[in-house]
Amino acid sequence: MTSLALLTLALLTLRSVSSLSLWYTEPGSSSPAGSVAGDKVRGVNLGGWFILENWMMPSFFGVAPLDQYNILDEWHYCSILGKDECASRLTDHWATYVTEDDFMRFANYSLNTVRIPVGYWMWIDLEDYEPYVQGQLPYLEKALGWADKYGLDVMIDMHGLPGGQNGQDNQGVKGPIEFAYNQTNSDRALSAVQNMTQWVTQDKFNGIVKAIELANEPYIQEYNPGGMLFEDLANYYVQSYQVVRNSEHIIDGGHEVMVFIHDAFQPLANWDYFFSTEGLGLSWTNYGVDTHIYDAFGSSPDKTWQEHLDTMCYLASSIASAQTKFPVIVGEFSLGTNTYCVDYQSCFGATLADTIANLTDYETSLFLRQFWEVQSDVYELGAGWIFWSHANEFAAPWSWSQSAAQNWIPEDPTEKIWPFYSDASSGCLDISNPIAGDQNLPYFPGYANNISNINIDFVRAKYASASSASSTNDNSTSASISSSSGASSVTSPSSGSSPSASASASSSASGARRRIRGEATGVIGMLLLVVGIMF
């Protein structure tokens, strides 16, 4: 075996070990996944892709004839257009809203995870009264292929359940919470989870889907009077967990997917009982809890900058405590301290540059960098974080791409400018005492920078080089990588059409093309191992 092949295998092993510790808790272990310092989920959501949200892309809802209506959600979007026109417009949206270049940037910014929200209507037959359209799976398949290519793990999130679990537009239709009204909704949800699990765990996806979330932000009556009973949510969690375990396919050398529940906006400590001696989740293995943290609603916009920072400090102890019991991921957060485009029509004609014009003075940019740093510090007391969302047409602090372009988010998410004290309930980020002194405070562009100008050529060259290197490996290495990827095509469980095989084609050398970045000590250790083998 050549030295290059050995190096490739060493890097593959490094990636595999890192991924295993992020997404797998050994049964009986006292150290939940994500507990190791430095070994954290650091990711971004692909929100607004497979489930429309009008505040994220106002102009998409302003094209005739939609400009004559108040479009609340994807349900009404398709109802007004009709299925044929809706399918045509959404197909264009699916093909352009998320691209391979996005995944390259995620990798270059040292992210390791993407969370992909999906609706139940992607996975089961639709009823005549449902206006949704299908055809998303070829685009999801491309995304899984890109994730594999650039070394990003994937969490698939069931963002919308039949009947609706939270009444908001992000479930697909805004209105009453009717998921628990009848058995039909539950049965359809479980069928969707089954079909989704079977599809995303196929061999051809190379085990890239590491986690499945059973429901996004469900409301229970303790949180909202219009919510469902806790017992109904708990029963769904138990049944859908069992469906995942009975439906998943575990690739050779892999392990069961991690199953996440959302905390239903209840204290994390409350869920310890659910998984404890008498709880319904007693027999669960490899599970975690997702919590969403935003400081932009209600009275939050009236806070001072220091109060926003201290709000995060206050959360540190509960996250750290819960992480000793089960993995805790902050699956959604942003840099927003206020909302944008709640009345999406008020944002017609506005641009991202308009928003950024009010945020580019140095003091504001410095606060946004501090807000980023305190959140990432606090959330890494748990298993990690996933930013909402990768893009936003108008709201820059809610856009990972634009926040990165403005340097509010650093290229290396482990870069720290200020000391962090995890046991301080206020002032936990010491912004008065930069670690390297005031002379090393970050630079911020005083204008609306464009993420497409940042390092993309470098990223493209880096991964093209890795791909080229893999093609020169000896035959045994190439064969082992190819055989692990799988190539079978599975028919869509809902539409009956066969998704594109692009992901399986690209994954034949995906292992060698995976991220050649990593923790410096780990890379050095593996290189020393290779040198030892060679000599």
Q: Count the Cβ atoms, other than its own, within 10 Å of residue 310.
A: 18
How far is CA 370 from each of CA 216, 419, 441, rounded to the nearest angstrom?
Answer: 28, 11, 11
- 216-241 residues labelled b (16+ CB within 10 A) or e (exposed): bbbbbeebeeebbebebbbebbbebb
Annotated active-site residue 363? The verdict is no
3-state secondary structure (DSSP) of residue 475: helix
Annotated active-site residue 26? The verdict is no
Residues 113, 386: contact at Cβ < 8 Å?
A: yes
* Active-site hit among 74, 248, 332, 373: 332
Handedness of CA 467, 468, 469, 471 (dihedral sign): positive
3-state secondary structure (DSSP) of residue 90: helix
* Alpha-carbon gap, residue 171 to 157, rounded angstroms: 11
* Alpha-carbon gap, residue 170 to 193, rounded angstroms: 18
Show Cβ contacts of residue 183 under 8 Å, excluding neighbours closer than 6 positions.
none
Task: Pull the structure tokens for residue 474.
Answer: 């000896």
* Active-site hit among 53, 74, 213, 217: 217
Torsion of Cα atoms, 138 then 144 then 146 then 151, to 10°? 180
For residue 252, what is the DSSP state?
T
Q: Which residues on adjacent β-strands are paired with residue 258?
A: 211
Cα angle, residue 44 at apex, residues 39 and 48 outer, rounded to 5°: 160
How far is CA 290 from each of CA 52, 339, 464, 476, rounded to the nearest angstrom?
Answer: 22, 22, 35, 41
Phi-psi region of 214 (alpha: psi -120 to 50; beta: other; left: phi over 0): alpha
Query: Given 3-state DSSP classes, what are the helix, strand and coil percentages for the chain, each rounded to the nearest 5?
Result: 45, 10, 45
3-state secondary structure (DSSP) of residue 261: strand
Phi-psi region of 213 (alpha: psi -120 to 50; beta: other; left: phi over 0): beta
For residue 250, what is the DSSP state?
P
Task: Pull the structure tokens for residue 323.
Answer: 């992480």
Residues 311, 317: contact at Cβ < 8 Å?
A: no
Q: Which helix (H) or strand (E) holds 119?
A: strand 113-119
Handedness of CA 301, 306, 307, 313 (dihedral sign): positive
Residues 530, 10: contact at Cβ < 8 Å?
A: yes
Q: Name the residues annotated as catalytic.
A: 217, 332
